[in-house]
Chains A and B, each alone.
Chain A
């Protein structure tokens, strides 16, 4: 798997390190990856929301 670096504010990184440990993640990297995956999944879902809207509109009652 390829790796990429991203920049994170120092203060935020400190908090991430703290909570990653508290939440039982093996590393801050794992915690960050998990958070990002969750957010991306939400955006994937948002695509479905548009589709749900379109399909509901076929009923005629909403626009």
Chain B
């Protein structure tokens, strides 16, 4: 497999999109009148334990009524319970062996390097050079790597209409004429999972080498700041520079107000004010540009100038990359709702984790996204007359990630002062979801089957497990210079000729297998089998001396838990962490920190990489449940069953709703 250069995510695609004429909103498929309308709300990370507790406390009255009317149950999640994996289970009705998504990131066995699991991009191979310019003679490609048919593709074959809004693990959207908008996994204009920009006259306050953001030192000269917003790599230029958009900030000499001039756009912000969406155009060559949208937040004017600019999202009015099907769907939404977030998971957890945004600022940003989402949901509900509507909400997941620390005084990142103000934020997002149920009640008629589901639950991330350090100490991983153990990353210090196993990704352990890995040393057959079993057993026996607990609740063997044609691409062992544990921050990218186990003092303090048995998702419906132990793939089977569509043999789920 060739290394994928996400840096080089092709803006050529954008050039093609820009040249397409706008068309009428008339190419949508699925016309059949269906006896039921199926509304599915996907609330990422909604935990059944927290739902139960808050219902008992009387804080979720609409959930309570729905449960009494229909059913409520934990919903079996994927192995591992990572969102791209879990939602892919739901999309295809198959486990990872059938859809091929095993983690947020996979590894290239030729190079032992991480690659995105969900998407591959390829630049045009045929180009022509003209001076400094390199002109494409064909289109670049961005490809969805998830395998298996999506349930809405099956519905489409039966002319059953679907609207699939912000589905995770569906970028670029699977081929369809149904209305679909991609969700988690959709990149920003840079081709990344999200890179914010922060302009400050006090750069020392922030670690410049942070993930998910760039820190720019700027100077105030004569009450003016000149700055540059980075954009995509300009693949039209021979030297492949980063495209940029210059902007100026004019500070009011006395008042905490500034005017920002970005191309032909001018707007005024007060200190602590957000701009709303601003369009930014990156010029690539004469006649070619790419458009993005972003939001500015003027954090401080004096004594220090501090300006936050969100990740630049793909402009839904003229998308440079494919974010929807049919291609006019995002433009249709803009025409009714205005500009909207297109990057998957837009809440800027990285800015909060690195103190660029504080808790209140983060919540303001995510609330804006949530309200925008609810407006989009209402818009679709108003015209929902037949078939299926799926709508995804990420705020449930993102806020639990960031605020779990303030719910638990035992958590290493607990802060009593912050807990006074933000200790209820996890509960609050559940209450927001309860209000959502009240808000959409008027759209639920007797034909509507309402399903609320989540991909996984949540648990604290208090301790991190350095898998690669453990493998090194246990003798399964060899370093060329052991005294440089914690230096570097991406296994740059590894002696592959003596290494038996390595950890990459958030739950995966791979054997350095002959015939699969480029420098494999373990023979397939009994040597492999014995090593996998030995490792699984030893991992499950590890005890954390600080807590007396076992960090690994279950070490799953891929071939025992997966089914389907893609098992050979799976990690050999999938770590199911115990309550409170997760892979460490450094291990997923091949680092070797000194300690096998360490406290997590980050604001990112709740997570979901545990054993599937420990953190199931949630299923609530306005119909009774046939069996209490449903899993994600059962919901997929239920959808097909509700519309009278035969469940394909590769789908292993069974219908879960009682319609009598």
How long is the Cα–Cα vector from A55 to B4 in the complex, in angstroms? 13
Q: Which of A45, A48, A54 is the one whose CB lies under 8 Å from B211?
A: A54
Q: Please choose the segment from B136-144, B328-336, B379-387, B585-593 that sits at the chain A interface, where 4 or more of its residues have CB less than 8 A away.
A: B585-593
Count B-side interface residues using an 8 Å CB cutoff. 38
Q: Which of A18-63 contact B (CB under 8 A)?
A: 45, 48-49, 51-63
Q: Which of A49, A54, A60 contacts B192 (CB 8 A)?
A: A54
Give Cα A36 to B212, complex, Å. Answer: 34
Q: Are B7 and A62 in contact (CB under 8 A)?
A: no
What is the distance, in angstroms, from B574's C-beta to the closest C-beta of chain A? 16
Q: Are A55 and B6 in contact (CB under 8 A)?
A: yes
Q: B3 — nearest CB in chain A belongs to which residue?
A: A45
Name the one of B116, B190, B585 contacting A62, with C-beta atoms under 8 angstroms.
Answer: B585
Known contacts being A48-B7, A49-B490, A54-B192, is A61 close to B588, with CB within 8 Å?
Answer: yes
B195 at the interface (CB under 8 A from A): yes
CB distance from A62 to the nearest CB of B (A): 5
Partner of B114, one of A56, A60, A63: A56
Instruction: Pick the most buried of A49, A55, A58: most chain B CB atoms within 10 A of its CB.
Output: A58
- Give residues 359-376 of B contacting A (CB, 8 Å): none
Q: Are B585 and A58 in contact (CB under 8 A)?
A: no
* Contact pick for A58, options B211, B489, B604, CB 8 Å: B211
A49 to B195, CA, bound (A): 16
Q: Please, how many angstroms separate the alpha-carbon atoms of A26 and B3 in the complex?
A: 30
In the bound assembly, the distance between CA atoms of A51 and B190 in angstroms comes to 11
Are A63 and B489 within 8 A (Cβ)? no
* Interface membership of B520, Cβ < 8 A: no
CB of B353 within 8 A of chain A? Answer: yes
A-contacting residues, B91-120, CB 8 Å: 104-105, 113-116
| CB of B621 to closest CB in A, whole Å | 30
Provide the residues of chain A in CB contact with B602, threshold 8 Å. Answer: 63
Which of the residues A49, A55, A60 comes within 8 Å of B353, measured between beta carbons?
Answer: A60
The answer to whether A58 and B350 touch across the interface, beta carbons within 8 angstroms, is yes
B423 at the interface (CB under 8 A from A): no
Known: A53-B489, A53-B589. A60 touches B190 (CB 8 A): no
Chain B residue numbers with a CB within 8 Å of A49 are 113, 490
A61 to B350, CA, bound (A): 9
In the bound complex, what is the Cα–Cα distance between A5 and B310 (angstroms)? 51
Inter-chain CA distance A55–B213, complex, in Å, is 9
Q: In this assembly, does B191 line the interface, its C-beta being within 8 Å of a C-beta of chain A?
A: yes
Contact B193 A55 (CB under 8 A): yes
Complex Cα–Cα for A48 and B3 (A): 9
Which of B8, B116, B192, B506 contacts A61 (CB under 8 A)? Answer: B506
CB distance from B162 to the nearest CB of A (A): 28
Within the complex, which residue of A53, A55, A60 is in contact with B604, where a contact is CB–CB below 8 Å?
A60
Q: Are B194 and A58 in contact (CB under 8 A)?
A: yes
Contact for A52 among B114, B586, B604, CB less than 8 A? B114
A52 partner residues in chain B, CB cutoff 8 A:
5-7, 113-115
A contact residues around B327 at 8 Å (CB): none
CA distance A57 to B604 in the complex (A): 13
Nearest CB in chain A: distance from B189 CB, A: 12
Q: Dominant SS at the A interface?
A: helix
B604–A62 touching, CB < 8 Å: no
In the complex formed, the residue of A with least CB distance to B115 is: A52
- Give, as a whole number of angstroms, the nearest-CB distance from B481 to chain A: 18
Q: Of the candidates B6, B353, B489, which one forms a contact with A51 in the assembled complex, judged by CB atoms under 8 Å apart?
A: B6
Q: A residues within 8 A CB of B104?
A: 56, 59, 61
**Given the complex of chains A and B, what is the CA–CA distance between A12 and B363 in angstroms?**
63
Distance, CA A55 to CA B353, complexed state (A): 16
| Chain A nearest Cβ from B438, distance in angstroms | 30
Q: Is the CB of A55 within 8 A of B3?
A: no
Residues of A within 8 A of B192 (CB): 54-55, 58
Residues of A within 8 A of B211 (CB): 53-54, 56-58, 62-63
Interface residues of B in 1-50 (CB under 8 A from A): 3, 5-8
B77 interfacial by beta-carbon distance below 8 Å: no
Closest to B354 in A: A63
Q: Indicate if B345 sits at the interface (CB-CB under 8 A).
A: yes
Query: Are A58 and B311 touching (Cβ within 8 A)?
Result: yes
Pairwise interchain contact B588-A60, C-beta atoms closer than 8 A: no
Looking at A48, A51, A54, A63, the one whose CB has the most chain B CB atoms below 10 A away is A63
Task: List CB contacts (< 8 Å) of B188-244 with chain A.
Answer: 188, 190-195, 210-212
Name the residue on B nearest A61 (C-beta).
B506
Q: Which residue of B lies closest to A60 (CB)?
A: B349
Q: How far is the CA of A22 from the CA of B42 in the complex (A)?
A: 62
Contact: B350 with A53, CB < 8 Å? no
Residue of B nearest to A47 (CB): B7
Restricting to B36-91, which residues have a CB under 8 Å from any CB of A? Answer: none
B401 CB–A CB distance under 8 Å: yes
Q: Which of A51, A52, A57, A61 has the most CB of B within 10 A?
A: A61
Q: Please give the distance in Å from B443's CB to the nearest CB on chain A.
A: 33
Q: How far is the CA of A6 from the CA of B105 in the complex (A)?
A: 42
Q: A61-B104, A61-B588, A62-B589 are in contact. Are A56 and B7 (CB under 8 A)?
A: no
B347's nearest neighbour on chain A, judged by CB, is A60
Q: How far is the CA of A51 from the CA of B113 in the complex (A)?
A: 12
Q: Given the complex, which residues of A lie within 8 Å of B105, measured CB to CB?
A: 56
Q: Give the distance in Å from the alpha carbon of A59 to the alpha carbon of B347 in the complex.
A: 10
The answer to whether A51 and B7 have CB atoms under 8 Å apart is yes
Complex-state Cα separation, A62 to B554, whole angstroms? 22
Complexed CA–CA distance, A53 and B489 (Å) = 10
The answer to whether B350 touches A55 (Cβ under 8 A) is: no
Instruction: Give the nearest-CB partner of A59 in chain B.
Output: B193
B353 vs chain A, min Cβ distance (A)? 7
Which residues of A sit under 8 angstroms from B350, Cβ to Cβ? 57-58, 60
How far does the alpha carbon of A51 sit from the alpha carbon of B240 in the complex, in Å? 14
Residues of A within 8 A of B506 (CB): 61-62
Distance from B336 Cβ to chain A, minimum over Cβ atoms (Å) = 29
A28–B489 Cα distance when bound, in Å, is 35
15 example contacts (A-B, Cβ-Cβ < 8 A) are as follows: A53-B589, A54-B212, A55-B192, A56-B114, A56-B193, A57-B210, A57-B212, A58-B188, A58-B194, A58-B211, A60-B212, A60-B345, A60-B353, A62-B211, A63-B602
Q: Closest 3 A-B residue pairs measured CB to CB?
A: A57-B211, A55-B192, A58-B193
| Given A48-B5, A52-B114: 12 more A-B contacts, CB < 8 Å | A51-B7, A53-B211, A53-B589, A55-B6, A55-B7, A55-B191, A55-B192, A56-B104, A58-B212, A61-B506, A62-B589, A63-B602
Residues of A in contact with B (beta carbons under 8 Å apart): 45, 48-49, 51-63
